[in-house]
Structure 1
């Protein structure tokens, strides 16, 4: 079965795995998914990740992160742009997620970066998702 929005599918898998307290999940890999997972790692939302080559298929194995009381570090994920409705933002109009406690992920001409880095570089782009 083909997926019309692979990024939204990846975010739903991460969200669902965090709700039921899975330690790790496997998702199909792509370049943009890898960049989003790298951002999630540097921002501290996931524990670790590894790219696994299985013949012609590439898989991203993501280790989820929990606090001492077994509550997920990821409280929410939301896809902003969809294949049918792209959402773009200028550098001065980038949204803030929970007053700066969350992260917005943007696809720019510099690659996939966070909203903070996009504001520093004074560049806008397509709003991919927000996480808090």
Structure 2
């Protein structure tokens, strides 16, 4: 049984980028789809495709590399965990690495980046940060 599917997603992406894999397979869910779409929109991953492995739906994430194979994702950190949820208001959202990275928040209007959340004046649960 998997207790924290978001951490599992982040670990798979981190391991895939460190080992320079072209694609990474991730079990599918709506929340993971929303997070991966944000990562694609911000340019951290190249593409996301639906697939089926052993009868279960999965996402095949095509990793993105720049400058002689350097991974676009250099770091991932899970902020809000099942044992300790972290909520922030719209004015309290901290910048990740002085604006180089991004935080992913779960708001009342859906999953969005820290910049979108500040622009819309929404706070929420800080799921993770990516740089």
Alignment TM-score > 0.5, same fold: yes
TM-score (ref. length: structure 1): 0.96
Q: Please report the RMSD computed on the Cα atoms of aligned residues, expressed in angstroms.
A: 1.2
Q: How many residues align?
A: 131
Q: CA deviation at 1:54?
A: 5.6
Secondary structure, in 3 states, of the residue corresponding to 1:11?
A: helix
* 1:44 alignment partner in structure 2: 43
Q: Report the counterpart of residue 18 of structure 1 in structure 2.
A: 17
Structure 1 residue ranges, 4+ long, deviating more than 4 angstroms after superposition: 53-56
Q: Deviation digits for residues 45-84 of structure 1, max 9, x if unmatched? A: 0010112246852110000000131110101000000001
Aligned equivalents of 1:15 and 1:29: distance in 2? 17
What does residue 7 of structure 1 align with? Answer: 6
Q: Secondary structure at the match of 2:84?
A: coil
Which residue of structure 1 lines up, in the alignment, with residue 124 of structure 2?
A: 125
TM-score, normalisation: structure 2? 0.96
Matches within 5 A, 1:79-94: 79-94=78-93
After superposition, the Cα gap between the structure-2 partners of 1:54 and 1:18, relative to the gap in structure 1 and judged at 3 Å, is closer
Q: Judging changes above 3 Å, is the alpha-carbon distance between structure 1 residues 58 and 115 closer, same or farther for their aligned structure 2 residues?
A: same
